[in-house]
Amino acid sequence: MKKLIAIICVVLVCAVAACSKPLIDGRIAKNVRYHTRDYAANPNQLYYAARWALEENGYAVAKEDLPQGTVITTWQPVTSDSHYMKVFDRKDYGVTGSYYQLKIYIMSGGGRPKVRVGAPVKTIVANMMSSGVEEKKILDGIGNYLRSANPNLTNLGITE
Domain ranges of the chain: 25-148
Please, what's the b/e burial string for 96-124 (b: 16 or more CB within 10 A of its CB; e: otherwise)? bebbbbbbbbbeeeeeebbbbbbbbbbbe
Residue 139's pLDDT is 95
155: left (phi over 0), alpha (psi -120 to 50) or beta: alpha
Orientation angle between helical segments 43-56 and 133-146, nearest 10 degrees: 120
Q: Is 0.85 surpassed by the pTM of this model? A: no
Per-residue pLDDT of the chain (160 residues; tens, 9 = 90+): 778 787 887 777 666 665 566 666 677 778 889 999 999 888 899 999 999 999 999 999 999 998 899 999 999 998 888 877 777 877 777 777 788 999 999 998 778 899 999 999 988 877 788 888 899 999 999 999 988 777 777 877 766 6
* Residue 104 and residue 138 in contact, taking contact as beta carbons nearer than 8 Å: yes
CATH of domain 25-148: 3.30.310.80
